[in-house]
Amino acid sequence: MDLSPSSLLALYDEQLRTDAETPSARAVTRLGPLRLVTFDGGRGFITYRDLDGTEASAVRNLVAGALEHYRADPSVDRVEWKTRGHDAAPDLHRALLEHGFAPQEQEVVVMGDARSLAIDVTIPAEVGLRQVTSEKDVRAMSAMQDEVFGDPVSPRYADALLRRLATGDGMELWVAEVARRMVGAARLEPVAGSEVAGLWGGAVRAEWRGRGIYRALTAARARSALRLGKRLLHSDCLPDSRPVLERSGLVPITTTTPYLWRRTPLPQP
């Protein structure tokens, strides 16, 4: 298998920018090249294979039409438009800003051989790793991730994860614990009909960082991915996780910047 960045990017565009991105969607509506996705919990998500060849005026119309779609659904209170750095999309940034979308922190998309991450990692003896499936554990994991990411603790993410687990689509939830207190968590997302799995949701409590816990959670997920026949792993990386994944052999193939729209704007500090 060719693992050059250009080949991995082509595979990413072909296999991971379709239904593979939204396995838990409640509804998907097509608007030209756009996929307007609605998830449980009030979240909208906009993605597409590419916008190449779309005129700037048409891009503005697509943004307006997508937002009109979600405004008409009162259950949706926030919408993410997922952009990629290698796409040709004239005036998309300006059109998103004009319609109330705010850019979030840029992430780097990495991809590579799962075997490079399926390694032995030394962690403190008191830390244990396990896969969780029970409602109690999933809710505790979700609350911990909300705290680590600085979000208000909410049942909505846990509710969505529990619905996913009930479908049996292959998603796996992993946690790290100390004395039965969760100190880290992460998610594995096998992509149906492909040899790829995604690494998502990695979170470690601040006081436990730098001790190999994120790397150990990644290694556990990599081994599980290989058991499932998934030879490639990909992830959207923030600065904390990118060095770990790149040192393990995953390579940057593009960037992604989410733009977020909220029905009720957050108060200004």
Question: What percent of the chain clears pLDDT 70, i.e. is strictly above it?
Answer: 98
| AA letter at 200 | W
Average pLDDT, stretch 233-255?
Answer: 89
Average pLDDT, stretch 95-109?
Answer: 96
> Residue 238: what pLDDT?
83
151 vs 130: which has the higher pLDDT: 130
| AA letter at 66 | A
Six token digits for residue 49 = 């294979």
Cα 144 to Cα 134, 147, 185, 260: the distances in Å are 15, 5, 8, 23
For residue 40, pLDDT over 90 is answered with no
Listed by start position, the domains of the chain span 5-108+257-262, 112-253
* pLDDT band at residue 128 under the 50/70/90 scheme: very high
Other beta carbons less than 10 A from residue 264's beta carbon: 7
CATH fold of the domain at 112-253: Aminopeptidase (3.40.630)
Six token digits for residue 246 = 């790149």
The CATH class for the domain spanning 5-108+257-262 reads alpha beta
**Which 3 state secondary structure label does DSSP give 196?**
strand
72 vs 267: which has the higher pLDDT: 72
Render pLDDT for 142-176 as a digit per residue (tens, 0 to 9). 999 999 988 888 888 899 899 889 989 899 999 99
**Which string of DSSP letters, residue by residue, matches 32-49?**
TTEEEEEETTTEEEEEES
Given its phi and psi angles, is residue 212 left (phi above 0), alpha (psi -120 to 50 degrees) or beta?
A: left
